[in-house]
Amino acid sequence: MQTTFVDVDVRPILRAGGEPFEKIMEAVNALGPGQGLRLFATFKPTPLLHVLDSKGFTHEAKELDGGEWEVLFSPSGAPSKNENPASAAAGPDSPWPEPMTHLDNRDLDPPEPLVRILATTESMQPGEVLSALLCREPLFLFPELAKRGHSWRGGFEPDGKTYKVLVRIGEHSGSAA
């Protein structure tokens, strides 16, 4: 079956400092059989590649003029690996140690909070916990944490605007050569 592509251009949203994840996922969820997604972005959406891989899509990324990217997501025919990575990694209810590091990323533009959190986890020891405050739920962060073997817990604070995520460093972190 030949794949037809639905175009989604999130460059205007990104240039305005917005978060296009919901728009992308709405488009993905509306795809029919044999349909793929052609995404246009201002940067290579590496975290999204992993998210859509877990939903059964392969990708082909191509850099355009000016550093922008076109990514074709095609249905692979493979079943989804994980429909909700946030709940899958929530872990048991066992107590976690107090966070060793606290980050306030609420004033940073995407993808800076994700990059800052991942960079910080690289210098932490297995079992240590990182606390980060964000202005939205970090949906792109969850598959990156899972890939690195970390666990996390998160939710919105009582103010309804601040998302707090706790990241516990996994046993295999930092072992890549």
For residue 93, what pLDDT is reported?
A: 54
Order of strands, edge to edge, in the sheet holding 57-63? 4-9, 35-41, 69-75, 57-63
Question: pLDDT tens string for the chain (177 positions)?
Answer: 688 999 999 999 888 877 788 788 889 989 998 899 999 998 888 778 877 887 889 999 999 988 899 999 999 876 554 444 443 344 445 678 899 999 999 999 888 899 899 999 999 999 999 999 999 888 888 888 888 889 989 888 889 899 999 999 987 554 333
Q: What's the CA gap between 160 and 5, in Å, rounded? A: 36
Separation of CA 53 from chain center: 12
- pTM given for the model: 0.53
For residue 78, the model assigns a pLDDT of 61
Give the pLDDT of residue 158. Answer: 87
Give pLDDT, residue 104.
96
Query: Which domains are assigned to the chain?
Result: 4-75 (3.30.110.40), 101-169 (3.30.110.40)
- Residues in the chain, overall count: 177
The one-letter amino acid at 171: E
Residue 13 DSSP symbol: H
